[in-house]
Structure 1
Amino acid sequence: MIALDYLPLLGTVTLIAVGMAMSPGQDFALVSRNAMIYSRRAGLWSSVGIATAVWLHVAYCVTGVALLITSFPRLYGMIRWIGAAYLVYLGVKSLLASSSPRMSADSDRSEITDRSAFGSGFLCNALNPKTTLFFLSIFTQIIRPTTPIAVQILCGLIISLAHLAWFSGVAFWLSTPRFLSAIWRLKPWIERGLGLVLMGVATHMVFQ
């Protein structure tokens, strides 16, 4: 069995995937924002969007497009600027939401469509140039070109599921009624904080 021959590789990828998903960053800020500002459903759909974007990274790593992107500074820079602009947009939305009138912990729930929540998660992950470099390092240092395509796809599945599981857990916990009730008075400040985090990440992306 090919899978058994590559168990050490799959184990390594699993550990890296879990650590990658759990590391603080713009994906975490986005899911937290959508779960608290909108709803658990919005947070979960954002998680699905992030997990789906993982497959985009896997696809261009397997096909060699990632290496092409990093080989052309202008193309890489364009992706970085687009990603930064999108994070600024999300950050501004959070700041505007934090200044809207507040009624109660139960009634204070803005709305967002499933499609928009999914799209925000997908774009947040897909337009992150650091994620591009991270996947490129995995698919060049750990997963070799000689690794069977089936195993490479399995590695992609592991990374995608790790992101889905972690961020779904984050969305579930941050949207529990008890948690929302406890942080209701601080919610405007949390929204402002998350908005500033997203804008700060965008600034770092531009000037790094």
Structure 2
Amino acid sequence: MIPLHDLLFFVLAALVLVISPGPNMIYLISKSITQGKKSGLISLAGVVCGFLFHIVMVSFGLTAVLLAVPMAYTVLKTLGTVYLLYLAYQAIKPKSKNIFEVDSNGKHDGPKKLFTIGFLTNVLNPKVAVFYLSFFPQFIKPEYGSVFTQSLELGVIQVFVSFSVNFIIVLTAARVAVFFANNPLWIKVQKWFMASVLAFLAVKMALSKAK
């Protein structure tokens, strides 16, 4: 089993991932505002299934790579550090998109399409795959037991964090969008706070060592 303090740090990392602007959040907010909470929840179900797909694929992949290639940890740690710094820059770069600016085409999609697009939006989102491939190895150690089991453990935690936050987003999307539209200063605060947390995680990752 993975130690509690490592799991708590992973929860923080997973939380930063889910609140950082990206295709999943944009899609859920858009459908929740333009088609209602029910459509948002159906879309969320698709997004969650997309996470499960990533978890299974990454769990098998990491099990093979980490046990076969000794340098894999260092390579993945470096890639993860660079990617987190990239996300930090994206959060505060000039003219970055307001995540609550959504477009409505006036059309309402059916449940099947909502679920499918939510699923594909997540499956085809490189941020999720990179997060798993770069972060999981920081917490998975052979001495803790099966690499595959540890990977699934982290995956379940990440899905729970993501579902909880996105569920709240779906239920409050319209009100949150109005609040941020009327209080643009909070957008800047959110961006800089997020960038700071991402940079901190990047430094912590860069300084971490394999055990």
TM-score range, shorter chain: 0.5 to 0.7
- Is the Cα–Cα contact under 8 Å of residues 51 and 161 in structure 1 kept in the other structure? no
**8 Å CA contact 1:60, 1:66 repeated in 2:** no
Change (3 A) 1:152 1:65: closer
Once the 2 structures are TM-superposed, how far is the Cα of residue 66 of structure 1 from its aligned partner? Answer: 10
* SS of match in other structure, 1:63: helix
TM-superposed CA distance for 1:52, in Å, is 1.8
Are the structure 2 counterparts of residues 117 and 135 from structure 1 closer, same or farther at C-alpha, using a change threshold of 3 Å? Answer: same
Shift of 1:142: 2.6
Unaligned runs of 5+ in 1: 69-93, 101-109, 187-208
Q: Is the 8 A contact 2:30 2:104 kept in 1?
A: no
Which whole-Å CA distance do the structure 2 matches of 1:168 and 1:95 have between them?
Answer: 21
CA RMSD of aligned residues (A): 3.1
Residues 1:168 and 2:184 are matched in the alignment: no
Q: 1:121 to 1:65 in 2, by over 3 A?
A: farther
Q: Does 1:58 align with 2:55?
A: yes
TM-score by length of 1: 0.58
Go from structure 1 to structure 2 and tell me whether the alpha carbon gap of 1:14 and 1:50 turns closer, same or farther (over 3 Å shift): same
Residue of structure 2 in register with 1:156 after alignment: 155
- 1:32 maps to which residue? 29
Deviation at 1:151, TM superposition (A): 3.3
Q: Displacement, 1:12?
A: 1.8
String of CA shifts for 1:28-50, please: whole Å, max 9, x gaps: 11001111111111111212221
Q: CA deviation at 1:170?
A: 0.9
Amino acid at match of 2:54: H
- TM (norm. structure 2) is 0.58
Identical-pair percentage: 22
| Alpha-carbon distance, 1:21 to partner | 0.7
Q: Give the counterpart letter for 1:25 in structure 2.
A: G
Give the ranges of 4+ consecutive aligned residues of structure 1 lying more than 3 Å apart after TM superposition.
65-68, 144-147
- Distance in 1, Cα, partners of 2:49 & 2:17: 15
Paired residues, number: 143
Q: Does 1:118 align with 2:115?
A: yes
